[in-house]
Structure 1
Amino acid sequence: MRFASLGSGSEGNALLVEASEGASTTRILLDCGFSMREVERRLTARAIDVASLDAIVITHEHADHIGSALSLARKYRIPLIMSWGTGQAVKVHATLKGEDDAALVRWCRADERFAVGGIELRPYTVPHDAREPLQFVFSDGARRLGVLTDAGCATAHLVAALGGCDALVLECNHDRDMLANSKYPPSLKARIGGTYGHLANDSAAEILGAIDRVKLQRVICAHLSEQNNTPELAMAAMSAVIGSQSTEILVATQAGGFDWLTC
């Protein structure tokens, strides 16, 4: 199993996950937070044909995650998977009006595993200010990739869900001091730093420290704020937890995400 980010941050998020067995390949796009043209361009840069996607999976309804997902699904006839709450928030059936378009939509629920081709997905709940937000753990039967972004704080449930992963994409949205001293209005600071907002570096480090890391080969700092964080601060927070453990620490960027990595 391998994975690549098309971009990660407040201006758009999309993560490509791929598993191959023999001549069969499964490709899933987790979130689609860019314009359709931009998604097409970024997939092409990863040598991926949009029509080869087996599913688009959406974590929640915020624009930097759902973006052009509905339009892309309709254009390329790609199954679109999300929670019922997310679907209601974006009025998915009002947008995909025709019977053929509506048939593209599939629902998922927290802790109910499902498969897309050769990839099994486990959705799990997170604290975030959305209708029914879910994050996901991907598995090809041998390796596990955990993804956690857009969560305001640690919970025992998400810590348990992410244990035993071989790779982890983990939100390190902001440094608390940088956010407090930023030019953001107080209401936005409170929203970002609240328990239903985004993970600060120290909160991400707390989660990383709490999960079972026996198999963890690499952790990717994701969804960094370009105004309220730096790659150096995020990586330092992760390094403080990893210590001498031989786990690679990387950073996903808004402009280019990161190139293909394996679990």
Structure 2
Amino acid sequence: MATQVFVDKAKHIMKVCVLGSGSKGNCTYVEYGSTRILIDAGFSGKEIERRLAVIDRSAVGLSAIFVTHEHNDHIAGVGVLSRRYGVPVFINNGTYQAAHRKLGKLTMLQSFTTGEVVTVNELQVHPFSVVHDAADPVGFVIRTDNFCVGYCTDTGQVTRLINYHLRSCSTLILEANHDPQMLRDGPYPVVLKQRIQSKNGHLANGEAVRFASSLAQGVLQHLVLAHISETNNHPDLVLSEAEKAFVGCRNVEVHLARQDQPGPLLSVKQKEE
């Protein structure tokens, strides 16, 4: 019997899909075997159901929703999905205290401590601190014995801690929020521009791809650049920065997450033996 379990696990493939990312909503789907989780649920419950259907998945049977921070574009659909499908919500105390009025009643609240690993069936989820203007914002590394995915958006800088946690990920979802020149010339008020480009704001294209390119000689295989501003950025600018940063590097596939539709359902590279 033990041998049979091992064989079954060996056949499991971790898959990940950014269902949508940007200032109007963020949600990412991760599956491994029968375990299926969402990282954030920043669209309406109905819209998340629709996007899951696009990739031939369903909210029925979701194992958990993990929340990065309390901003509405990350939590708008958390409460309704929890209530409708009986999904446990994993959230640290600082974020919950800042978000509980918007979340409403949850089917099951599971509090985690930033920095401590949470186990959900076959998955180990490690929340780590990021730098953003929120109560206790986090990124996540999702691991099994054979796979590792990193999720890091809504951070104004790449810290040593972020670097440490993401270096072992073969698939990485990382924000490339704005082009500095577009932000400077754009319509936002000065205060908001200062917030976005501050250390507690969002990563610019160049900062994101330079960091990601530093991981290219490791295990990184899939890079999804996310949370791309529709006002202060353009996909062509993001791709141009990525092409320059990854010149000569053929082992990393670069994808751009979109606000209006899901990206591809990616199969995560297995760890080297």
Which residue, 176, 182, 188 being the options, matches 1:184? 188
Give 1:94 shift. Answer: 8.5
CA-CA distance at 1:86 after TM superposition = 0.6
Q: CA deviation at 1:218?
A: 1.4
Using structure 1 for the length normalisation, give the TM-score.
0.92
Alignment of 1:141-156 (within 5 A): 141-156=145-160
Q: C-alpha root-mean-square deviation of aligned residues, in Å?
A: 1.6
Find 1:260's aligned residue among 265, 269, 273. Answer: 265
- With 7-16 and 105-114 compared, the bigger mean Cα shift is at 105-114
Query: 1:91 Cα deviation (Å)?
Result: 2.3
Tell me what 2:23 maps to.
10
Return the offset for 1:242: 2.2
Mapped to 1, the partners of 2:244 and 2:126 lie a distance apart of 29
Q: What aligned pairs does 1:139-178 form with structure 2 within 5 A after superposition?
A: 139-178=143-182
CA distance in 1, matches of 2:103, 2:173: 33
What letter is aligned with 1:199? L
Whether contact under 8 Å (2:79, 2:103) holds in the other structure is: no
The equivalent of 2:254 in structure 1 is: 249
Equivalent in the alignment of 2:135: 131
Aligned-pair CA distance for 1:120: 1.1
Structure 2 residue runs without a partner (length 5+): 1-13, 269-273
Aligned length: 254
**Cα distance in structure 2, aligned partners of 1:248 and 1:71:** 35
Task: Report the 3-state secondary structure (helix = DSSP H, G, I; strand = E; otherwise coil) of the residue aligned with 1:91.
Answer: helix
Q: Give the direction of change, closer, same or farther, for the CA distance of 1:253–1:93 in structure 2 (3 Å limit).
A: closer
Separation (CA, whole Å) in 1 of partners of 2:45 and 2:103: 19
Give the Cα separation in 2 of the matches to 1:188 and 1:182. 11
Q: How many Å separate the matches in 2 of 1:112 and 1:237?
A: 34
Q: What SS class does the counterpart of residue 23 from structure 2 fall into? A: coil
Q: Could you say if the C-alpha distance between residues 2 and 207 of structure 1 is closer, same or farther in structure 2, counting changes exceeding 3 Å?
A: same
Q: SS where residue 202 of structure 1 aligns?
A: helix
SS state at 2:266 partner: strand
Query: Is residue 57 of structure 1 aligned with residue 61 of structure 2?
Result: no
Residue pairs, 1:196-235, within 5 angstroms: 196-211=200-215, 213-235=217-239
More divergent stretch after superposition (117-126 vs 206-215): 206-215
Contact 1:79 1:106 in 2 (8 A): yes
Structure 2 residue aligned with 1:36, among 23, 33, 45? Answer: 45
Deviation at 1:92, TM superposition (A): 5.8
* Residue number in structure 1 paired with 2:240: 236
2: distance between equivalents of 1:33 and 1:88?
18
SS of the counterpart of 2:47?
Answer: helix
Runs of 4 or more above 3 Å deviation: 209-213
Q: Distance in 2 between the 1:87 and 1:35 partners?
A: 19
Q: Distance in 2 between matches of 1:207 and 1:110?
A: 23
Contact 2:69 2:95 in 1 (8 A): yes
Q: Is the 8 A contact 2:76 2:103 kept in 1?
A: no
Question: 1:211: Cα distance to partner?
Answer: 4.0
Q: Once the 2 structures are TM-superposed, how far is the Cα of residue 241 of structure 1 from its aligned partner? A: 2.6
- Work out the CA distance in 2 between the residues paired with 1:47 and 1:12: 20
Structure 1: runs of 5 or more not aligned: none
Quickly say closer, same or farther: Cα 1:216–1:75, change in 2 above 3 A. same
Query: Which residue type is aligned with residue 90 of structure 1?
Result: A
Q: Is the 8 A contact 1:154 1:206 kept in 2?
A: no
Q: Whole-Å Cα distance in 2 between the matches of residues 194 and 83 of structure 1?
A: 24
Tell me the distance in 2 between the aligned counterparts of 1:68 and 1:239: 35
Contact 1:146/1:162 (8 A) holds in 2 = yes
